[in-house]
Amino acid sequence: MDLILASASPRRRELLGLLGLEFEVVPSGVPELTEGDPAVIVVENAVRKARAVARPGALVLGVDTDVVCDDRLLGKPGDDGDATARLRALSGRTHEVLSGIALVGPAGERSELVRTAVTFRALDDREIEEYVAAGEWRDRAGGYAIQGLGSSLVERVEGDLSNVIGLPIPALSRMIEELQDR
Per-residue model confidence as pLDDT tens digits over 144-174? 999 999 999 999 999 999 999 999 999 999 9
For 12-28, write each residue's pLDDT tens digit. Answer: 999 999 888 899 999 99
d(CA 102, CA 97): 17
If pLDDT is split at 50, 70 and 90, which confidence band does 125 have? very high
The closest alpha carbon to 41, from 96, 92, 86, belongs to 96
Which residues, 6 or more positions from 56, have their beta carbon under 8 angstroms from its beta carbon?
106
Which pLDDT does position 182 carry in this prediction? 62
DSSP label at residue 121: P
Which residue among the candidates 64, 70, 79, 160 is catalytic per the annotation? 64
CATH number assigned to the domain comprising residue 170: 3.90.950.10
Contact 28/7 with Cβ under 8 angstroms? yes
Beta strand spans in 70-129 (E)? 72-73, 94-105, 108-120
Please determine, for residue 1, whether its predicted confidence score (pLDDT) is greater than 90. no
Going by DSSP bridges, is the β-strand pair 2-5/58-69 parallel, antiparallel, or unpaired?
A: parallel
Which pLDDT does position 181 carry in this prediction? 66
Contact 69/89 with Cβ under 8 angstroms? yes
Q: How many residues does the chain have?
A: 182
Secondary structure class of 159 (helix, strand, coil): coil
Q: Indicate the residue type of 149.
A: L
Q: What pTM value is reported for the model?
A: 0.93
Which domain range does residue 139 map to?
Answer: 2-180
82 is catalytic: no
d(CA 141, CA 40): 17
Task: Count structural domains, the chain.
Answer: 1
